Structure 1
Amino acid sequence: MTRTAAYSAAQDRVSLAAAEPLIALGALDGRYRTAVAPLVDHLSEAALNRNRIHVEVEWFIHLCEQRVLPGLPQLTAEQVEALRSIVTGFGPEEIAELGAIEAETVHDVKAVEYFIARRLDGLGLGELKPLVHFACTSEDINNLSYAVGIRDAVEQVWLPAARQALAGLSELAQQAAEVPMLSRTHGQPATPSTLGKEIAVFVHRLSRQLRRIEQQEYLGKINGATGTYAAHLAAAPDADWPGIAQSFVEKLGLTFNPLTTQIESHDFQAELYADVARFNRILHGLCVDVWSYISIGFFRQIPVAGATGSSTMPHKVNPIRFENAEANLEISNALLDALGATLVESRWQRDLTDSSGQRNIGTALGHSVLALSNVTKGLKQLAVAEDVIAADLDANWEVLGEAIQTVMRAEAIAGVDGMENPYERLKELTRGRRVDAEKLKEFVSGLGLSKDAEARLSQLTPADYTGLAAQLAKQFAG
């Protein structure tokens, strides 16, 4: 979908981050401010108001371009630029002014209307003050403003953070693609893999979720108090209002929703939050696995100069990046799940539960962005401990029991005598006990296998028994 000059102009604007207080009740606006500050420009209250001004200004311009009412002038390029400068120049002083207006109106969207109207005289457009917020209910402005903010937050902040974390994970998977590793299923020693292949599984899963999120539609509507265009038709009965509405919504870079109540139904938001939450859950699983690998020494953490791992134990380097990420992913998902559940419901044609709920979108995505930042940093502090991984693998020769009994099955099918009950015979040899290389090779030599099969098994080690793991890791690591 192409985006017009209106959308491009909205990107060239004053940053809102500096206008926010640095001391706040929430951790995202306090301790973790640096990691999530880019979201302020899209999902803060100030950003919402700037987006409302953006939508109102563009609707004003669009109505003039469409000449839907008698007497509407054709705006000059200079007037259009001046109108859009109301949006791009929205900074700390304007935030304060708008706040003062809202304190008087006790209505956020009405305050935006008055804020814009104040500026029209200076632009030589004072006679067009009635065109501001023309035929609109508050939700016509709000739904589009939220859609623009959510889209920009996802595309300009969340997705880049996710891609950065995924790039680090892909690099680790490629680096460790050929590092043989003892697997553990149900926490027990199992058929070896490579460390890179196990990391590549997460790369593959997370990449799928990113593709879904990248293809997300962001819906919008501008059809009046109950979605009927009633006021529009009352004022201009001959105008093609659905067509005008669609072209306007698409001009904002959104997808038109042609049928709604007073509110845009928020289904796209529920879809998006479900996908982000699923990405979060997969990432949470990665954090748990990496934390566990650190705990058994498969990864060494590279100490950060000057950092302290424990207040009392000097030797410790705690895996705090992954622990922090786990907690923030859980908080993010609690909010995303709640938003996805509540936003798709509205009593009859309108209630205000969505108004309160949507003000937490920034918090929900903020905890996810914070988690992604920690994962990215945590991955950079990992070193693969190949010696520890190799020692662990060499201590578990019994995992070759699977290979031996499977070869015995193949030999039986080929007509080799003495291959009866392969599973049971290997179970008796290996279950509940450690079997070293010598004992396993002795067992193989006494089976009566064909020469080729015996040669293959006698040369097999746990480190070699990784199948296509390295190939799969390289194929899917990125």
Structure 2
Amino acid sequence: MTASLFDSQLYARLLPTGEAGRLFTDTAEVRAMMLVEGALAKTQGAAGIIPELSAAAIHRASLELQIDPAGLAEATGQNGVPVPALVAAFRDLMQAPEHAQYLHWGATSQDIQDTALMLRLRQVLAQYDDALGSLLHALARLARDHSETPMAARTYGQHATPTSFGAQVAQWGRPLLTLHTELRQMRDAGLPVSLSGAAGTATALGPDPAALRAALAAALGLRDPGHSWHSDRSLVTQIAAWITRAATALGKFGEDLILLTQSGIAEVRLGGAGASSTMPQKQNPVGPSVLVALAAQAQGLNGMLQSAALHRQQRDGAAWFTEWMSLPPLCLSLSAGLTQAHALAETLAPDTDAMARTLAASQGLLAAEALSFALTDRMSRPEAQAAVKALCKEALASGTHLRDAALAKWPDLDAGLFEPRLQLGTAPAEARAFADAVPG
């Protein structure tokens, strides 16, 4: 088994990361850093900090040169960061020392790496946006189509009152809808460029470092943060926390599907299920199980990453390395989760017959709450609760229906109290409201 299942040829289809997986490769990181170096040179040339001819040569080379990440490995192992080796290789490949000397002028490794990270995270967030939108549309269709499909609600694993399958779907979708709104706000705010030099003081970045930083941000389509953020990892931890909340919401979706497909309940059918190596009758809920496992991984990685926000002094290698080890797999956890969740939402279907059988086999006990309130027009609430509790015990002991026991005692009761379709409360409205809230 590989150290990371995301990189495994064997497990790739179990944890499909799609385009996001390509953004967290050595090649993608090197390419992003080269783009930052090229944009930096171009803005410095325009500002008169380095010769414009050299700036143009560096910028052109940043788009054309190919640097093998493996060739940077030994120096990276020694330096702790890849930028010194990258700069050396870049200068060598340019074969123009008169221009190459101005590469990486006044910047520090963290400026280049953090800015390159933001370029890649920008693409990851865009992918999340699209994936969440598609997932929400699939859930909205399910919620609307089954807004009045009755099923047993369960609390503490026990039958509670009737609800609708559409309302259950809305419970899965509502947190994702909130997260989608937050994601768009985060994207609209933009991700920050980093340019503040060796110790955050921008000493070697020319006469107007703030203007240079703003120009670099504009060149790369990033936001000017207005300050150095080498040791301020607030945005990174904010993104990590958002990813974890999203993965947790998908995990809830997975947990419920595992329960709804288990033997003895089987109220939901999955479009695709896994086979057992020895038990041909089994259809294992593989996709839902992946969602639960990814949620667990995200929560663990997020805890690791949040602790890495403790950057000592102006810059901190240990905290930064911890961030490198936790942020990429955290991002990929959500990418894989969104892919699996969308496949599930597009193909799962409620087994309405199984849901009806569950309701029918419940001996009418899901109507106990409604019955206790209906009786309050003839007795106090505590008396009504006690009377219904006694009837429930009687029905369970005798195997009779609560409706029959109640009507025998109070013949004028509305028999509709015991019809699940008539006791859905706000469930249909909740389902439709969620579907309506999903952007078209």
The bucket for the TM-score relative to the shorter chain is 0.7 to 0.9
- Provide the residue aligned with 1:82 in structure 2: 60
Q: Alpha-carbon deviation of 1:52?
A: 0.9
Against the structure 1 CA distance between its residues 303 and 142, is the aligned structure 2 distance closer, same or farther, given a 3 Å change threshold? Answer: closer
CA distance in structure 1 between the aligned counterparts of 2:279 and 2:121, rounded to whole angstroms: 44
- Provide the residue aligned with 1:349 in structure 2: 314
Confirm or deny that 1:32 pairs with 2:11: yes
Q: Alpha-carbon deviation of 1:476?
A: 0.3
Against the structure 1 CA distance between its residues 161 and 97, is the aligned structure 2 distance closer, same or farther, given a 3 Å change threshold? Answer: same
For the 8 Å contact 1:65–1:74, the answer to whether it is kept is no
Q: TM-score, normalization: structure 1?
A: 0.79
Q: How does 1:285-434 map to 2 (within 5 A)?
A: 285-295=252-262, 296-302=265-271, 309-342=275-308, 344-360=309-325, 361-396=327-362, 397-409=364-376, 411=377, 421-431=383-393, 433-434=395-396
Partner of 2:281, secondary structure, is: coil
- Provide the residue aligned with 1:450 in structure 2: none
CA distance in structure 2 between the aligned counterparts of 1:113 and 1:28, rounded to whole angstroms: 30
Moved over 6 A (4+): 103-106, 417-420
CA distance in structure 1 between the aligned counterparts of 2:381 and 2:311, rounded to whole angstroms: 68
CA distance in structure 2 between the aligned counterparts of 1:63 and 1:159, rounded to whole angstroms: 34
Against the structure 1 CA distance between its residues 432 and 219, is the aligned structure 2 distance closer, same or farther, given a 3 Å change threshold? Answer: farther
Structure 2: tracts of 5 or more residues without a match: none
Q: How does 1:430-441 map to 2 (within 5 A)?
A: 430-431=392-393, 433-434=395-396, 435-441=401-407
CA distance in structure 2 between the aligned counterparts of 1:146 and 1:292, rounded to whole angstroms: 39
Aligned partner of 1:258 among 207, 218, 226: 226
CA distance in structure 2 between the aligned counterparts of 1:132 and 1:164, rounded to whole angstroms: 43
Q: Alpha-carbon deviation of 1:280?
A: 1.2
Confirm or deny that 1:167 pairs with 2:137: yes
- Provide the residue aligned with 1:226 in structure 2: 199
* RMSD value, Cα: 2.9
- Provide the residue aligned with 1:199 in structure 2: 169
CA distance in structure 1 between the aligned counterparts of 2:38 and 2:169, rounded to whole angstroms: 48
For the 8 Å contact 2:269–2:348, the answer to whether it is kept is yes
- Provide the residue aligned with 1:279 in structure 2: 246
For the 8 Å contact 2:162–2:423, the answer to whether it is kept is yes
Give CA-to-partner distance per residue, 1:403-460, whole Å, 9 cap, x none. 2332333x36xxxx899832222222225744343223333425xxxxxxx4x45565
- Provide the residue aligned with 1:474 in structure 2: 432
Partner of 2:161, secondary structure, is: strand
Partner of 1:445, secondary structure, is: coil
For the 8 Å contact 2:108–2:197, the answer to whether it is kept is yes
- Provide the residue aligned with 2:85 in structure 1: 111
Against the structure 1 CA distance between its residues 418 and 164, is the aligned structure 2 distance closer, same or farther, given a 3 Å change threshold? Answer: closer
Aligned partner of 1:53 among 34, 37, 53: 34
CA distance in structure 2 between the aligned counterparts of 1:153 and 1:419, rounded to whole angstroms: 55
CA distance in structure 2 between the aligned counterparts of 1:103 and 1:189, rounded to whole angstroms: 58
Against the structure 1 CA distance between its residues 264 and 42, is the aligned structure 2 distance closer, same or farther, given a 3 Å change threshold? Answer: farther
Q: Which moved more, 1:437-446 or 1:191-200?
A: 437-446
Give CA-to-partner distance per residue, 1:124-149, whole Å, 9 cap, x none. xx533222110111111111111212
Q: Alpha-carbon deviation of 1:289?
A: 0.9
CA distance in structure 2 between the aligned counterparts of 1:75 and 1:365, rounded to whole angstroms: 34
For the 8 Å contact 1:39–1:362, the answer to whether it is kept is no
- Provide the residue aligned with 1:8 in structure 2: none
CA distance in structure 2 between the aligned counterparts of 1:215 and 1:119, rounded to whole angstroms: 41
For the 8 Å contact 1:444–1:457, the answer to whether it is kept is no
Q: TM-score, normalization: structure 2?
A: 0.86
Aligned partner of 2:409 among 430, 443, 462: 443
Against the structure 1 CA distance between its residues 348 and 330, is the aligned structure 2 distance closer, same or farther, given a 3 Å change threshold? Answer: same
CA distance in structure 1 between the aligned counterparts of 2:408 and 2:39, rounded to whole angstroms: 82
Give CA-to-partner distance per residue, 1:328-378, whole Å, 9 cap, x none. 221132112211221x21111122123322333222222332233233333
CA distance in structure 1 between the aligned counterparts of 2:374 and 2:434, rounded to whole angstroms: 29
Q: Alpha-carbon deviation of 1:469?
A: 1.2
Q: Alpha-carbon deviation of 1:58?
A: 0.3
Q: Which moved more, 1:171-180 or 1:287-296?
A: 171-180
1:52 maps to amino acid: M
CA distance in structure 2 between the aligned counterparts of 1:164 and 1:135, rounded to whole angstroms: 44
1:43 maps to amino acid: F
Q: Alpha-carbon deviation of 1:115?
A: 2.9
Q: Alpha-carbon deviation of 1:387?
A: 0.9
For the 8 Å contact 1:332–1:364, the answer to whether it is kept is yes
1:339 maps to amino acid: L
- Provide the residue aligned with 2:124 in structure 1: 153
CA distance in structure 2 between the aligned counterparts of 1:460 and 1:103, rounded to whole angstroms: 71
1:161 maps to amino acid: A
1:116 maps to amino acid: F
Structure 1: tracts of 5 or more residues without a match: 1-22, 447-453
CA distance in structure 1 between the aligned counterparts of 2:434 and 2:391, rounded to whole angstroms: 37
Give CA-to-partner distance per residue, 1:238-287, whole Å, 9 cap, x none. x32212212312432222233336x2522101011111101111211121
1:424 maps to amino acid: A
For the 8 Å contact 1:310–1:317, the answer to whether it is kept is yes
Q: Report sequence identity in percent.
A: 20
CA distance in structure 1 between the aligned counterparts of 2:194 and 2:248, rounded to whole angstroms: 32
2:260 maps to amino acid: Y
1:465 maps to amino acid: Q
Give CA-to-partner distance per residue, 1:162-214, whole Å, 9 cap, x none. 43333333333233222101111222221211011011111111110122123
- Provide the residue aligned with 2:99 in structure 1: 128
